[in-house]
């Protein structure tokens, strides 16, 4: 049986940029694990859709660190969406694959 990474509850401010779209969105990261996170949008007119490639910046106030990661939206419901973290070098591969497939 596949063991899922442990998830930690959070309430951290997050900035979301979607590759291929202008502007930034704001949200609240509600939980976090090694493999991804869940974010609810708080400001912005576009809700990220399944498959969107994103750049996420968030603060971890409990350890006084700011993190910046790449990811892909793997599901969404209302203004909330799940993100799977991916390596930055894989973002360009996915963009090229989608634009030239």
Examine the pLDDT at 2 and tell me if it is beyond 80.
no
Instruction: Determine how many CB atoms are found less than 10 A away from the CB of residue 14.
Output: 22
DSSP letter assigned to residue 87 = -
pLDDT for position 101: 44
> How far, in Å, CA of 21 to CA of 44, rounded?
12
Examine the pLDDT at 93 and tell me if it is beyond 80.
no
Most confident of 2-16, 46-60, 81-95: 46-60
pLDDT tens by residue, 72-84: 999 999 999 999 9
pLDDT tens by residue, 34-74: 999 999 999 988 999 999 999 999 998 888 999 999 999 99
């Amino acid at each position: 049986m596949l063991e899922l990474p442990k998830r930690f509850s959070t309430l951290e401010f997050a900035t979301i940029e979607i590759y291929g779209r202008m502007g930034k969105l704001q949200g609240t990261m509600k939980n976090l694990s090694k493999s991804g996170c869940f974010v609810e949008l708080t400001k912005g007119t576009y809700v990220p859709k399944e498959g969107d490639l994103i750049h996420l910046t968030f603060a971890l106030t409990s350890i006084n660190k700011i993190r910046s990661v790449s990811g892909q939206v793997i599901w969404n419901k209302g203004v909330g969406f799940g993100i799977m973290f991916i390596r930055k070098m894989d973002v360009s591969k996915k963009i090229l694959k989608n634009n030239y497939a």
